[in-house]
Amino acid sequence: MAKPQPTTTTTTTKWYEPQYRNGGKMEDYLGNTQPSLVEVVAVRLWQALNGGVSLDWEYQNCTVATIRTLAPGFRMAYLLTGVYLVVLSLWFLEVPIVFRHELNNDNPTMRFANVTLGAAFFLWALDFATLAVAWWFVARVDRGSVFDGLCGCFNCFVPNGPRIKRGERVNENVCTGLLFALVYAAAFVLGVISTHTILTHVYRERNVWFAVLLCVQTVMLLISSLGDACSIGSPWGIQQSSRVASILLSFRSIILMPMTVIWTVAAIVASFPPSECVTC
């Protein structure tokens, strides 16, 4: 009778171990033993939206799935809004709407409204700058081919975000980095000019349609920022591509976005005061 052969068990180690561990502590989910405070809060926000479950990146409820799906489209939507207001309006309108008004009212009774509109515009500009710089840090990483590099430039418009595995050919390409810097700089300029145009038409002309457009853009900002917060952590998170981008986008989602929404609502209210002294 032949003796039974001893059985051998082989264990396969996944590519993200031991840096990441599913269902573990915050350090295991972020892959960093010293995570920043804004990253921790962003993960807790994702956890709350996900139903308060453990740090399990394999589970997402309908809320998180909807936010992750809508966020890239909304980000693309207000980028295309800037293209329409700044570029296409110059071709189709006899009188351009860009820089037609100043973001200031000489009426002394509107001095507090001037401050409110100025603060709202500053926060919007800071938001666009933070978004452009953060995603440039993600896009400048060259994954080894021209196609992958171009996809990296538009990772902010991809629902699943960046996906980099440890051991992959990753380096910083100077030429592609400069090219993507121009792309994101153009997106920043378009966003700032279009937002300035919207705010001035709401404030100086009390245009209701521009006020509606500003409200829609604010909702798109809210959803897209939450989408970035839901992409912090796990082996496929933003921090895997760039730790700086992870911190910037977490700061944008947790601190900058609420302030921008609040001051934008205040700017709309200040643009339509119940009474105004015309003869002052």
Q: d(Cα 233, Cα 213) in Å, to the nearest integer?
A: 33
Query: Rounded to the nearest 5°, which phi and psi values hold at 172?
Result: -100, 110
- What the block records as the tokens of 130 is 């933070």
From 64-68, 157-161, 221-225, the region with the lowest mean pLDDT: 157-161
Mean pLDDT of 116-134: 94
- What the block records as the tokens of 89 is 């309006």
Query: Rounded to the nearest 5°, which phi and psi values hold at 171?
Result: -150, 170
Q: Is the pLDDT of residue 260 over 90?
A: yes
Q: Is the pLDDT of residue 176 over 80?
A: no
Q: Give residue 268's pLDDT band: very low, low, confident or very high (50, 70, 90).
A: very high
Q: Is the pLDDT of residue 94 over 70?
A: yes
pLDDT at residue number 254: 95
pLDDT at residue number 168: 52
With beta carbons less than 8 A apart as the criterion, state whether 264 and 236 touch: no
Q: In the predicted model, what is the mean pLDDT of the chain?
A: 83
Q: What is the largest CA-CA distance in the chain?
A: 112
Q: Is cis: bond before 258, omega within 30 of 0? A: no
Q: Is the pLDDT of residue 161 over 90?
A: no
Bridge partner residues of 172 (DSSP): 141
Q: 106: exposed, middle or buried (C-beta count within 10 Å: 0-12, 13-18, 19+)?
A: exposed
Mean pLDDT of 161-183: 65
- What the block records as the tokens of 186 is 């153009």
Mean pLDDT of 14-43: 88
Mean pLDDT of 179-207: 91
